Chains A and B, each alone.
Chain A
Amino acid sequence: MGKDKSIAASYARQFAEVEGALPGRGLAWLDALRANAIERFAELDFPTPKLESWKFTNLRPLTREVFAPSPATRNGLGKGDVARWLADDLPCHLMVFVDGHFRADLSELGALPRGARVASLAETLAGDPARLEAHLAGNDAIEGDAPVALNTALMADGAVIALDRGVALEKPVHLLYLATAATKPVAMHLRNLVVAEPGSSATLIETYAAPRGGRYWTNAVTDIVVARDAQIRHFKLQNESVDAFHLAATRARLAKGSGYDSFYASFGARLSRNEIATRLDGEGADCRLSGVYLARGRQHVDNTTVIDHREPGSVSKEHYKGVLDGDAHGVFQGKIIVRPGAQKTDAHQLNKNLLLSKTAQADTKPELEIHADDVKCSHGAAVGELDAEALFYLRSRGLDPAHAQRMLVEAFIGEVIDGIGTPALRSHLGRLVAAWLSEAED
């Protein structure tokens, strides 16, 4: 423990050094929140595989050194670096963050309908902090593992999206996080907040990318409140540098009759863990989690989800697929909880993994905790290789093995991608998958 402990202590010292410059400094509730969080972080320390929920993911590569908070930079990134990450034919309210800080000059927020607000966390803390207090300082805010606590202590920027009752945001909000190659390892503690009041709806897109590669740590926390009959669609693309670390926790609370539909695609990062924890607090809430993760080389990709059915008649559908090549390691942990009284819950989970090499590895752990008796729950998990017969059939028609493999992998992934409701996002993702697959032949 000695070494890990010293890392935790280093972050505590770092906090003491930078807290005076953090956004919202001087807001009593926020100062207290941050102080509590760093204490909690020091107590918890970085999780190790001894913890059940971290059994398959070892953060050692991340905890070998201290990542300094990323400073705001004025670097040479231009509109061209932005454009390549946007979906064609899909106008968006675009917020660009470079090295963890909002960049108005690269963003294009456009006109928002009345009752919709989209702003950066830093500017909201400066101008309208009261809006945030209830959500950030709630009891739940410091739940979670050490990285979440560290995020709460050090959060510097992110997006705040608020929709008033009944407001339907037609165009998606796209949050584009670009990292530039820093000379020393930096961390971006991003904090996003989405509050959808009753009957409102919006689509949120998050893209994490690094045009020039680099070694850094993205530590993102996104809280989503979906009030009664509201609908949030969430589409996240993780395309970080293959030398980077990406830890993200998304926490969504669903009220009665509301819907949360999440799609996650993971391509990048040396080590990534995408946690999604949803709480179905209201009757008839509908939660969809789907995702694809593609990894090769020495990449480690972890998908950890919790779906907590707390009230009767709610629905959850979860479908994740992984493609692992080289020495990559994929992890899927999916916990479904059905609380006593959450009768008529309808919960289905499926995880499938395709191993493209002898040395790739997949761990899949479905976990069902069911405390109600009148429910429909199912889960399935599989790890397999490409179908040799299918491969031969394609080759026997003249396709070279790489092409045949690409076709079969696209077909495997396609089953999840085809479920994306927005055609422009579906084809955007199709292109990213095709690009990932063609990299193998470089």
Chain B
Amino acid sequence: MLEIRNLHVAVDGKEILKGIDLAVGRGEVHALMGPNGSGKSTLAYVLAGREGYEVTKGEVLYQGRNLLDLAPEERAREGVFLGFQYPVEIPGVAAMNFLKAAVNAVRKHRGEDELDAIDFLKLVRDKAKALKMDGELLKRPLNVGFSGGEKKRNEILQMAMIDPRLAVLDETDSGLDIDALKIVAAGVNALRGPERAILLITHYQRLLNYIVPDRVHVLVDGRIVKSGGKKLALEVDDQGYEPFTAGEKAA
């Protein structure tokens, strides 16, 4: 599904990612863990196509195609979804209208009929209910005045509505209390399936108690220093990133 090969990325001339190799297969859930400043969010943004990130070396293949050639909206329509660490507040754009435009842009690209107002509302209501989201929230301007937890739930709602093939979730757990974390995790787990791949980016192991990954990678200073099974996350939780950082320095 996703194949990242020797990816080097610079921001303002400074190299942040220093040769990432990562393959996430169909049906798999991978966790990418790392300390602050290790390049986790940079990788997420590069995958989504944000401006200002210069790929200096390497490639990213998505379903066998060169992902980096596609504009952000093309990636989204092809099934790539980025759950933002900090969802953007957009005054004046009602969350519901935005969601409808997004869903229909993706559906249109897939050759599906656009949802009419009634079908759309029904779908939103069902999905929002599963995430224990207040429907009134969606009448408000997008993310404006949403609490941290509401913003993250809104990201997961968008993901559920858009139905992506590859979901990259950037610190979706940050700022969530335990109840919200469980709800969000259930939302992500509902999306797990043989046709989809998920890349969870997180600082802490906590989320991985609820979304159990197939593989765990540790990112330090722009490089993946260790990969392993779900137990690797416990190791990180137990020892912190220090041993991995030291290993990096020694190398």
Within the complex, the shortest CB–CB distance from A389 to chain B, in Å, comes to 5
Within the complex, the shortest CB–CB distance from A388 to chain B, in Å, comes to 7
User: At the interface, yes or no: A422 with Cβ under 8 Å from chain B?
Assistant: no
Can you name the residue of chain B whose Cβ is closest to the Cβ of A404?
A: B73
Instruction: Say whether A398 contacts B50, CB under 8 Å.
Output: no
A-side interface size class: 20 to 34
CB contacts (< 8 Å) of A415 on chain B: these are 91-92
Given B48, B91, B97, B141, which contacts A396 in the complex, CB threshold below 8 Å?
Answer: B48
* Interface window among B31-39, B100-108, B215-223: B100-108
Instruction: Say whether B92 contacts A395, CB under 8 Å.
Output: no
* Interface window among B81-89, B176-184, B186-194: B81-89
CA distance A398 to B161 in the complex (A): 12
CB contacts (< 8 Å) of A411 on chain B: these are 90-93, 141
Given A392-B50, A392-B72, A393-B87: A399 and B101 within 8 A (CB)?
A: yes
Interface string of B103-116 (1 = CB under 8 A from A): 00110010000000
Of listed B71, B73, B76, B101, residue having the most chain A CB within 10 A? B73
Within the complex, the shortest CB–CB distance from B99 to chain A, in Å, comes to 8
By secondary structure, the A interface counts as: helix
Instruction: Say whether A389 contacts B105, CB under 8 Å.
Output: no
Within the complex, the shortest CB–CB distance from A146 to chain B, in Å, comes to 40
Quick one: which of A406-433 are within 8 Å of B by CB? 407-408, 410-412, 414-415
User: At the interface, yes or no: B51 with Cβ under 8 Å from chain A?
Assistant: yes
CA distance A400 to B75 in the complex (A): 11
User: At the interface, yes or no: B244 with Cβ under 8 Å from chain A?
Assistant: no
CB contacts (< 8 Å) of B87 on chain A: these are 393
CB contacts (< 8 Å) of B50 on chain A: these are 392, 396
CB contacts (< 8 Å) of B92 on chain A: these are 408, 410-412, 414-415
Can you name the residue of chain A whose Cβ is closest to the Cβ of B72?
A: A395
CA distance A394 to B84 in the complex (A): 12
Given A388-B51, A411-B93: A396 and B76 within 8 A (CB)?
A: yes
CA distance A404 to B87 in the complex (A): 16
Instruction: Say whether B105 contacts A398, CB under 8 Å.
Output: yes
CB contacts (< 8 Å) of A414 on chain B: these are 92
User: At the interface, yes or no: A358 with Cβ under 8 Å from chain B?
Assistant: no
User: At the interface, yes or no: A403 with Cβ under 8 Å from chain B?
Assistant: yes
B-side interface size class: 20 to 34
CB contacts (< 8 Å) of B72 on chain A: these are 392, 395-396
User: At the interface, yes or no: A401 with Cβ under 8 Å from chain B?
Assistant: yes
CA distance A412 to B92 in the complex (A): 7
CA distance A408 to B92 in the complex (A): 8
User: At the interface, yes or no: A397 with Cβ under 8 Å from chain B?
Assistant: yes
User: At the interface, yes or no: B199 with Cβ under 8 Å from chain A?
Assistant: no
CB contacts (< 8 Å) of B76 on chain A: these are 395-398
Can you name the residue of chain A whose Cβ is closest to the Cβ of B90?
A: A390
Instruction: Say whether B77 contacts A398, CB under 8 Å.
Output: yes
CA distance A388 to B88 in the complex (A): 10
CA distance A389 to B162 in the complex (A): 20
User: At the interface, yes or no: B98 with Cβ under 8 Å from chain A?
Assistant: yes
Given A392, A398, A408, which contacts B162 in the complex, CB threshold below 8 Å?
Answer: A398
CA distance A389 to B82 in the complex (A): 14
CA distance A217 to B87 in the complex (A): 49
Instruction: Say whether A396 contacts B82, CB under 8 Å.
Output: yes
CA distance A399 to B141 in the complex (A): 17
CA distance A356 to B50 in the complex (A): 19
Within the complex, the shortest CB–CB distance from A390 to chain B, in Å, comes to 5
CA distance A415 to B109 in the complex (A): 32
User: At the interface, yes or no: B213 with Cβ under 8 Å from chain A?
Assistant: no
Q: Jot down 18 A-B pairs with beta carbons below 8 A, ordered by A.
A: A388-B51, A389-B88, A390-B90, A392-B48, A392-B88, A394-B102, A395-B49, A395-B76, A396-B50, A396-B75, A396-B76, A397-B102, A398-B73, A398-B106, A400-B73, A401-B71, A411-B90, A412-B92
* Known interface pairs A393-B87, A397-B158; 16 further A-B residue pairs with C-beta atoms within 8 A, sorted by A's residue number: A387-B88, A390-B88, A392-B50, A394-B90, A394-B98, A396-B72, A396-B76, A397-B106, A400-B73, A401-B73, A403-B101, A404-B73, A407-B93, A407-B97, A412-B92, A415-B91
